[in-house]
């Protein structure tokens, strides 16, 4: 004696899901489930995910941005102090909730901290 499954056959549902996935290639199983619900087919999210995975319908992934090819030129080294400076804003918050900002000015050639300007 063996167990017999009580599940309904989901062949029509699979074919409908496959059609929608072919029409809308960028949609994943969540968005395809919404389209199925619009067509009047009520389906659980986990069931939609299971059918989607069994049919091997995958969403095309973005390849990312293209990187620049070639070697970068090294930054010129400045030999004299006070020729090149860097500015940087740093912000924080007091215990009372009031925010303040600090403008830091640093000399790039020497490890000299030129100025810090604090303002609310």
Task: Give the DSSP H or E segment for 115.
Answer: strand 113-119
pLDDT (tens digit per residue) in 81-107: 888 888 999 999 999 999 999 999 998
pLDDT (tens digit per residue) in 28-47: 889 999 999 999 989 899 99
CA 11 to chain centre: 35
Q: What pLDDT does residue 60 have?
A: 60
Distance CA 118, CA 104 (A): 9
Q: Which residue carries 């969403």 as its tokens?
A: 59
The answer to whether the pTM exceeds 0.75 is no
Are the C-beta atoms of residues 58 and 47 closer than 8 Å to each other? no
User: How much of the chain exceeds pLDDT 70, in percent?
Assistant: 92
> Is residue 68 over pLDDT 80?
no
CB atoms within 10 A of CB 99: 9
Extract the tokens encoding 99.
């925010």
Are the C-beta atoms of residues 108 and 86 closer than 8 Å to each other? yes
């Amino acid at each position: 004696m063996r167990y017999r499954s009580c599940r309904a056959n989901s062949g029509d549902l699979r074919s409908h899901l496959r059609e929608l996935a072919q029409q809308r290639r960028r949609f994943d199983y969540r968005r395809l489930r919404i389209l199925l619900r619009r067509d009047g087919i009520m389906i659980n999210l986990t069931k939609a995910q299971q059918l989607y995975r069994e049919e091997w319908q995958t969403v095309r992934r973005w390849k990312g941005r293209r990187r620049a090819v070639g070697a970068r030129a090294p930054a010129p080294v400045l030999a004299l102090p006070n020729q090149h400076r860097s500015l940087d804003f740093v912000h924080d918050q007091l215990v009372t909730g009031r925010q303040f900002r600090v403008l830091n000015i640093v000399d790039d050639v020497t490890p000299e901290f030129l100025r810090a300007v604090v303002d609310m």
